[in-house]
Chains A and B, each alone.
With several copies, the nearest count.
Chain A
Amino acid sequence: MRLDFLRGERLPNIWCPGCGNGIVLHALLEAIDQLQLDPDKVVLVSGIGCSSRAPAYTAFDNVHTLHGRAIPVATGIKLANLDLTVIVVTGDGDSSAIGGNHLIHAARRDVNITVVVFNNYNYGMTGGQASPLTPISSITTTTPNGNLDRPFDLVKLAAGAGATYVARSGIYFTKHLVDHLRKAIAHDGFSLVDAVAQCPTYFGRFNKKGSAGQMVTSQKDWMVLKSVAEKKTPEELAGKIIIGEFVNIERHAPVSAAAPKEQA
């Protein structure tokens, strides 16, 4: 990772000790570096949330927008200047709660931007409320007795909306994460990476996930590579999250190409 992609003068960052956001940011900067993009032509756009503070630590043009609204701003920037690489940095709440509509519409339009979801399964910024990605039964400040609502599967949601590149990774698997971020950015069309990170301060603490270090290394235990998962039975996969590339199709291909089997 090129250190000059960071605004050193603004560090240390505001994140809590052990917050996963820095790890995703690190991977993102590494992916940008690997692609050898002209840093003058990279724009990071974010919403509101802990994760959405990430762009302001980078040396690129960066736009911290409103809660949930990074994607339409990114769409405006991209359409106004097609030379730019526009990357949206967003949280699970920012992208899938208040910003859910923009997410599915960007996927549908196949606008050539990349959305990186810093997914910590809760609203970190406001103190650990449930997000649409919070697993069932998890404790948050707004689900004191355990979450009753089912979460979205962000991969399915994006795919269902027509995204042409969708991947999921976790911060433990840094190479995997960088690879998929790189492919997503390079993808010609709408791309999304669900990057699972930890919020030790709230989600971790409320759900007894241990220290930040434990939250990082435990990803080994509950994440399964897609290639591995394909050889496993549903029982073996119970409670596991599968990581890898789920959709990678040509831009503006007939929608049926991405059609889940059961629906066509």
Chain B
Amino acid sequence: MSNDNRFELRMTGSGGQGLILGSIILAEAAIMEGKIVTQSQVYGAEARGGTTKAELVISNKHIAYPKVTDPDLLAAMTNEGLKQYGGGISRKTEVIIDSSVMSAPDFLDEENCRGLLALPIRSTLISRLESELGLNIVLLGIIEGLTAIVEVEILRKAIAMHVKKQFLNLNMKALDLGMEMVEAQAKTGIRI
């Protein structure tokens, strides 16, 4: 979290990946910890089935401007998403990409971001949990692993509030998987 107490997260990918729900879950976890949040997304017909973006600002104090202007974290789950909403990052920004569906973009370097973390998110999810569901939760796990922005147990509680019982277990595993991937990132991930 940056020094002014404000944490800005942007997630982008394709319509069906559940990124908006992911941002809501993280927002609710933050609220449970007494934090202030503002969550937003691109909206509408144009985005149908196409590229989407979810944003979250978390702070200990009142949030005036509600949108992300200088993200601490940008997670791009598709190439299209990175292309459309990858602008506006700075040297403060840690960028996460899903290397199983996209290659590390050459326009990102030390000059314009703090770091790039390329993890094979989707493929790992499929191979490890034999599921296509839960991508957004794996990503939450990664974010949690990187930032410890909320208590893990509270994050679990927030997830439980939003997923159907029959998928609860899967989602908890997805969260663990994400956190594991961060722990293991030195070994498996590419970081510039």
Give me the interface of A with B, judged by CB distance under 8 Å. 14, 16-17, 50, 125, 201
Contacts and interface: CB of A to CB of B under 8 A. Distances in A.
B12 to A, nearest CB: 19
Given A14-B46, A14-B48, A16-B48, 7 more contacts: A14-B45, A16-B49, A17-B49, A50-B45, A125-B45, A201-B48, A201-B49
Contacts of B46: 14
A168 B49 CA distance: 30
A14 B47 CA distance: 9
Minimum-distance CB pairs A-B, first 7: A16-B49, A125-B45, A16-B48, A17-B49, A201-B48, A14-B48, A14-B45
A201 B45 CA distance: 12
Interface of B: 45-46, 48-49
Contacts of B48: 14, 16, 201
B105 to A, nearest CB: 24
Contacts, number: 10
Nearest to A126: B45
B144 to A, nearest CB: 31
A246 B74 CA distance: 58
10 contacts: A14-B45, A14-B46, A14-B48, A16-B48, A16-B49, A17-B49, A50-B45, A125-B45, A201-B48, A201-B49
Contacts of B49: 16-17, 201
A75 B48 CA distance: 33
A16 B49 CA distance: 6
Contacts of A50: 45
A16 B45 CA distance: 10
B42 to A, nearest CB: 15
Contacts of B45: 14, 50, 125
A17 B16 CA distance: 13
A16 B46 CA distance: 10
B176 to A, nearest CB: 31
Contacts of A17: 49
Nearest to B50: A14
A167 B46 CA distance: 33
Contacts of A16: 48-49
B52 to A, nearest CB: 14
Contacts of A14: 45-46, 48
A228 B79 CA distance: 52
B50 to A, nearest CB: 8
B101 to A, nearest CB: 18
Contacts of A125: 45
Nearest to A53: B45
Nearest to B48: A16
A181 B45 CA distance: 28
A17 B48 CA distance: 10
Nearest to B46: A14
Nearest to A18: B49
A246 to B, nearest CB: 33
A195 B115 CA distance: 54
A125 B45 CA distance: 6
B20 to A, nearest CB: 14
A194 B132 CA distance: 39
A79 to B, nearest CB: 31
